[in-house]
Structure 1
Amino acid sequence: MPTGILALFAFLPILVALVLMVGMRWPATRAMPLAWLVSAAAGVLFWKMDPVVVAASTIQGFASAVTVLLIVFGALIILYTLSESGGMETINYGFHGISTDRRVQVIIIAFIFQAFLEGAAGFGTPAAIAGPLLMSLGFPALAAVLVALILNSIPVTFGAVGTPVWFGLKNLSYKVEHAISETGPGIGFADMDGFYMLIGQWSSVFHSVVAFILPLFVVCFMTRIFGRNRSWKEGLAIWKFSLFASTAFVIPFLVSAFFIGEEFPALIGGLVGLPIVLMAARRKWFLPQASWDFGPQSEWEAQWTGEIATQADITFKARMSQVRAWMPYVLIGLILVLTRVQFLPFSGWVRSWSIGFREILGQSGIDYAIEPLYNPGIVPFVLVALLTVLLHRMPAQKVKNAWRQAFFRMKNPTIALLFAVALVQIFKNSSFNPMGYASMPLSMAEAVAALAQGSWPLFAAFVGALGSFITGSNTVSNLLFGEFQYDIATALDLPRQIIVALQAVGGAMGNMVCIHNIVAASATVGLVGMEGAILRRNVLPLLLYGAVVGAMGMAFAYLVFPGVF
């Protein structure tokens, strides 16, 4: 069957999800099971997959969803534990002491603070923390989720201590080693670690340019959609502070990428940038004279809020010291760093216990495994939630309330994620077919590449975004499409490091529209059935991101480095 026809059939499940969620505004709890059913039918009818393989893939997907659901549950436990203990109110009091301007809060929390969380944890964790934090400050739930998801993109290539690069691109090892043996020292790096660092460097360059554009755009986007005056101009008034914050983040971000490696740009960028930006906000450097806030809640549109109400009275009190209130987040960051850095023994300790099963329903290559203690939902989220009970001296009834609320909020995201991840696994495992067809994702990518030809750098990042949209992971997007991007660059005589870096960047920008993250982040602020509205609004910043890095990719590929590696 021609690749173009296969690509159309492969796109059907995605089209169903888009039409139902964006066009008909179905909740993901209804849309994703139907999209899964379409993917299963496409696999059996067009890829001639054995129904047992489809069933095994579905089971694999359900099991894999547990990984994401543990993170969502852990984020909810932290949120409700801090809410019940008074720690969250104390944190909010501290943020209000820095600035009551919502535009400043977006830049500090959704941009800089999230970058640190992404660098340490990744896998959807930052938006699941930042969204509830913003909402507790007085943001409408929809606004909190939108800004958290959109800005959790710039650091994602380097999330979870560089996992999307050093693990996501591991399938390229034999191709890179062959290139090194063919070219020798002139290739610019000596081994696979050097290749990873090169991709990290180019990815950081692409992201850094967007880092000066996207935060300001998001603030303007917020004031236009949620402001009383529906004004872009009110957001633009913060431009000086936004550019200062971007500079404070980008300099250590780039330095880390070029001189340390691909593991730490996001982590160091956030860690160094946050105190600098907080200091500037406290001293009112670069801030406009007039503060900006949302209108009264009585004027908010119904779809802006969900099952968890935003407090109408935003007068906070310090229930404890700021140090004590922030200690759970400090512990989260510290534990994440200690358990992710490879030269310390803690990573080996938490990864020593694994649960899983091989050859599901007897199907070779369809396996599942989880390292429970390495999952951020358990260590550090649940662990720190338990420690917070002691740190904040919580009575038993408040602890009970926190856990009950967290379990209650898990119902809808569980349904949506089970079927979303099952769809992903059918997509990935469609390569197990007797026809010799490429998998569904690769069929779509090959069809697009055939149309694009020499203009491929303009579209390469969007393939990475497609991978994230389908799989919910920059890492998995790179695993799916990294080799394909490398081969396209080779065939079109384009610099392979540029195209592979665009793949890594595209997987990060796709973070803002992937169903996994939208469902997970929405659940933490009580938004049910609004996934389509979020997806629809996030398309514009995705296109902006892709246009900027695509134009840069064309310039680097043809004007700066024609024919280099």
Structure 2
Amino acid sequence: MSSGLLALLAFTPILLAGILLLGLRWPARRAMPLVFLVTALIAYTGWDMSFNRILASSLQGLVITLGLLWIIFGAILLLNTLKHSGAITAIRAGFTNISPDRRVQAIIIVWLFGSFIEGASGFGTPAAIAAPLLVAVGFPAMAAVMLGMMVQSTPVSFGAVGTPIIVGVTTGLDRNTISGRLEQLGSNWDQYLQLITSEVAITHAIVGVLMPLFMVMMMTRFFGKNKSWREGLEVLPFALFAGISFVVPYALTGVILGPEFPSLLGGLIGLAIVTTAARKGFLLPKTAWDFAPRDQWPSEWFGRIEMKLEDLAAKPMSGFRAWLPYVLVGVVLVISRVIPEVKAAFTSVGVGFSNILGETGINAGVQPLYLPGGILVMVVIATFFIHRMQVRELTAAVKESGSVLLSAGFVLLFTVPMVRILINSGVNLSDLPSMPIAMATWVADTVGGIYPLLAPAVGAMGAFLAGSNTVSNMMFSQFQFGVAESLGLSTALIVAVQAVGAAAGNMVAIHNVVAASATVGLLGREGQTLRKTVWPTLYYLLMTGLIALIAAYGLGIVDPLV
């Protein structure tokens, strides 16, 4: 079979998902079971994967799904707990006091607070936390999901305390061979990884500075009563200020300190600067913008989880005490990732499965305390005492949260196993490369010298499939490295734009959309969200590709291996 036909066959599940979700507007609960079956059939007949390996990959996906559902449950439970404790009422009032302008609220909650949470946790947590918080302060559920997906871009490459770089790139490259070559040239692995980190940080800073503006423009266009782009542009000075307030400390941290803290410190410093500026009215538009009255919203904007004013508990509570649970989430996430003893304690509790169904090399596991879901549940328990709640209030929150998981679980039961089959398809009886590698190889062979323009799209494809920057980097870093070498380009640059493209791909990752939708009870309308988030994704990939082209040929960027 030619490489073109092989790539087309490998692309079929992605194409089918796009047609069903975007073209025919099927809900994911109908589309993904069919996509899963088609993927398994292609793996069995086209790739000669053994039935045992397909089944093992599916079981691996089910274990990963449990972890995702645990995160979703924790995020929803915290929101419902704060609803019943009265904290949401105080938080809503607090944002109104900073600014009644929904554009300003979106930038602060999603771009800055969401980036901080991404830096601490990653793995889709920002959308799972930011989306329900937006709903709590009065945003339509669909707008909340769209915005929550858009923040999964700039901060993602350094999410979860740098995991996509430290784990994804490091394990995705042939470290031993590369280290040997670097040492012969008077360099070393740490310097090479830092070069990649610096180029990722600088590229993201250039492209990502406009993301707050795009967020508010898309919000006013798709969810404003006037359907206006211009109303989003009215907040241009403040949006640029917010973008700069994040990307400057973000880029400096990446270049100076390495991959662990850019998103964490960028989000934290940016949040402090922008919130203070907003309170003083700095660069705010003259007139505040709001959604139309709720009774004028289309029905598809509403999710099953809606925070109506009449439903919210109203108890005297300071803003600090109301926000304290979210502060605790960030603090505990950071401590659990940074302090080795705490990390070891959290990761010691878990269930693991090695060589599922025999000598398959397919492993999976769940660490309930280390996953963000466990930390969210711990904070819920702490909130019960901090907010002096009644047992019946916490019971109601648990019951409401549990009911949301059923529909989310059904979709993810097919989506994640489908992804694992694609990723694990490299072990087969026909000695073919894995399906993602087959697609990427054909692209590289076809486009030649303009490959830097398309390298970010390869990373995005991996993230679209896996819903993870880390996994995309593991799949494609060595491939990107090899293409760069064959074209005489900087290997560090091409691996860096792989990581940036993989971050952008999270905005259209199917099971990220499903997970974010589940937190606000909006399952079944994933295609509508994807049709919106595809535009900022294309912007991100095009700009990153242009930067890579300029850096490779205009600036002559090199590294120790070239």
Secondary structure in 2 matching 1:369: strand
Instruction: Quote the residue 1:137 is aligned against.
Output: 137
Q: What is residue 200 of structure 1 aligned with on the other side?
A: 197
> Quick one: which of 406, 409, 424 aligns to 1:429?
424
Q: CA deviation at 1:316?
A: 9.7
Deviations 1:379-436 (A, max 9, x none): x111111111111111111111100111100011111112111011111111110111
Q: Confirm or deny: 8 A CA contact 1:93 1:317 kept in the other structure.
A: no
1:375 aligns with 2:354: no
State the TM-score, normalizing by the size of structure 1: 0.96
- In the TM superposition, residue 312 of structure 1 has moved relative to its aligned partner by 6.5
Alignment partner, residue 80 of structure 2: 80
The answer for the alignment partner of 1:212 in structure 2 is: 209
Q: What 5-or-longer segments of structure 2 have no aligned partner?
A: none
User: Alpha-carbon deviations, 1:162-218, whole Å to 9, x = none?
Assistant: 000000012311242133034224xxxx22x32222211111111111222121122
Cα distance, 1:34–1:222 mapped onto 2, change above 3 Å: same
Distance verdict in 2 for CA 1:12–1:26, change over 3 Å: same
Q: 2:355 aligns with which of 355, 359, 365?
A: 359
1:392 pairs with 387, 393, 403, which one?
387
Q: What code does the residue aligned with 1:508 have?
A: A
Structure 2 residue corresponding to 1:181, chosen from 180, 183, 199: 183
For the residues of structure 1 that align with 2:456 and 2:122, how far apart are their CA atoms? 20
Distance in structure 2 (CA, Å) of the matches to 1:383 and 1:563: 47
Deviation at 1:113, TM superposition (A): 0.6
- State whether residues 119 and 156 of structure 1, in contact with CA within 8 Å, keep that contact through their aligned partners in structure 2: yes
Could you list the per-position Cα deviations for residues 216-246 of structure 1 after superposition, in whole angstroms to 9, with x for gaps in the alignment?
Answer: 1221111111111111111101111111111
For residues 513 and 390 of structure 1, the distance between their equivalents in structure 2, rounded to whole angstroms, comes to 39
Do the aligned residues in 2 keep the contact of 1:141 with 1:306 (CA within 8 Å)?
yes
Question: What is the distance in 2 between the residues matched to 1:298 and 1:246?
Answer: 33
CA RMSD after TM alignment: 1.6
In structure 2, what is the Cα distance between the partners aligned to 1:88 and 1:77?
13
Matched, 1:419 2:421: no
Q: Which runs of 5 or more structure 1 residues have no equivalent in the other structure?
A: none
1:245 to 242, 245, 257: 242
Identity of aligned residues (%): 45
Assess if the C-alpha contact under 8 Å between 2:422 and 2:434 holds in 1.
yes
2:535 is matched with 540
Please give the alpha-carbon distance, in whole angstroms, between the structure 1 residues aligned to 2:410 and 2:231: 39
TM-score with structure 2 setting the length: 0.97
Structure 1 Cα separation of the partners of residues 367 and 115 of structure 2: 24
- For residue 524 of structure 2, the aligned residue among 514, 526, 529 is 529
Measure how far apart 1:314 and its partner are. 11
1:297-336 Cα offsets, whole Å, 9 max, x none, are 2222222112223536799966311121111111111111
Partners of 1:137 and 1:314 within 8 A in 2: no
Distance 1:64 1:310 in 2: 30
List structure 1 runs of 4+ shifted beyond 3 angstroms: 312-319, 562-565
Closer, same or farther in 2 for the Cα pair 1:451/1:313, shift >3 Å?
Answer: farther
Tell me the secondary structure at the aligned position of residue 295 of structure 1.
coil
Q: Secondary structure at the match of 2:168?
A: coil
Amino acid at match of 2:60: Q
Quick check: 1:123–1:160 contact (8 Å CA) kept in 2? yes
Q: Output the CA distance in 1 between the equivalents of 2:478 and 2:279.
A: 47
1:111/1:152 contact within 8 Å kept: no
State whether residues 139 and 310 of structure 1, in contact with CA within 8 Å, keep that contact through their aligned partners in structure 2: no
Displacement of 1:352 after TM fit? 2.2
Query: 2 CA distance for matches of 1:499 and 1:530?
Result: 35
Does 2:325 align with 1:328?
yes
Q: For 1:295 and 1:251, how far apart are their aligned partners in 2?
A: 35
Amino acid at match of 1:176: I
Are 1:48 and 2:48 an aligned pair? yes
For this pair of structures, how many residues does the alignment match?
Answer: 558
The SS at the match of 1:373 is coil
